[in-house]
A = this chain, B = another copy of it.
Amino acid sequence: METISLEHGSGGLLTARLVQDLVYQYFDNEYLLEAHDSACLPAPAGRLAFTTDSYVVNPLFFPGGNIGKLAVCGTVNDLSMSGARPLYLSCGLIIEAGLPASTLEAVLAAMAEAAREAGVFIVTGDTKVVESGAADKLFIHTAGIGEVAPQTDISGKKALPGDIVIASGSLGDHGLAILLKRHHLQLSSAVRSDCQPLNGLVQSMLEACPDIRVLRDPTRGGAATALNEIAGQSQVGIELYEEQVPVGREVRAACEVLGLDPLYLANEGKLLAVVPAAAAAAIVAVMRSHPAGLDGAVIGRIINQPPGRVFMRTLTGGRRIVDMMTGDPLPRIC
């Protein structure tokens, strides 16, 4: 099998071979190997968290990751942002006929590794193959199930005036890495996607402070869009301090040259948290002791007025509005 052909998506013999010879090599757990139409799983004790995401990132491989790693981390992170412990993932593949089998294999291997890192099982899946030209190489959908502990209650509606806004690290790395790779731009030092699972970091944060109000991973639309969503859902204002927003040196430089704002670039391994002021220092300390939160920092606070608006206190002492992203500077970022 050198390339994937339409017959591999037929549901017949070649589909069975693709699944047995390739998929099961990488995704081997008792639930998946049952090979039924559905995986049958022990039910978690708490409430369920359930999420899904589609991945159409272009190019498939980029510095710091690939579509497979992204598809696992993205769904693990969406579950984590509900305060859930991620447990089970599904994986749906749409493959363009002619895709090299080695490409698929590299993607599956990355998914398996990311799942291992996050401690989740890929328990059910589906494979479709479409004609050459009917899709662009490979699309992946993952859905995920997590368990929400009884005491956990995290929601975009819970930010209160006086709360503190924290970012878990530098912003804009993923978006810029994709942009540079897609346009074959070279910098003196490489910018890598931050693509990583955040469930371990979130568990540490929740142990330190069960009262975290809001968690959000600023993917498409960047931190600016995620903060606007929180401000809207909680009907509060948000004030950011420009000098405290963590942005990597290369990212800042490249953004200046290219006329981009890192607040609108996607992240795939960072989170924003809104926490009670009394707990902020402790949470930042916990984050900085976790590999996924080494550059965690307070970046702003929740204010009363005007509801639904995000502002930036600039380095020069001014104050500007930070809007939601309109348009799309960079399609197919994830």
Q: Residues of A with Cβ closer than 8 Å to B?
A: 6-7, 9-16, 34-56, 58, 77-79, 81-82, 84, 88, 90-94, 123-131, 133-136, 139, 141, 143-148, 155-156, 216-217, 219-221, 225, 229, 233, 266, 324-328, 331-332
Contact = CB atoms under 8 A, between A and B. Distances in A.
A56 B233 CA distance: 35
Contacts of A127: 54
A314 to B, nearest CB: 22
A155 B37 contact: no
A156 to B, nearest CB: 6
**Closest 10 interchain pairs by CB?**
A11-B220, A12-B325, A143-B143, A10-B328, A141-B141, A11-B221, A52-B90, A38-B51, A134-B136, A38-B49
A10 B219 CA distance: 10
Nearest to A16: B324
Q: Dominant SS at the A interface?
A: mixed
Given A40-B47, A50-B39, A52-B141, A9 B324 contact: no
A138 to B, nearest CB: 11
A135 B139 contact: yes
Contacts of A77: 37
Given A52-B125, A56-B134, A130-B136, 6 more contacts: A13-B324, A36-B81, A37-B77, A43-B44, A131-B331, A143-B143
Contacts of A332: 128, 130-131, 134
A130 B37 contact: no
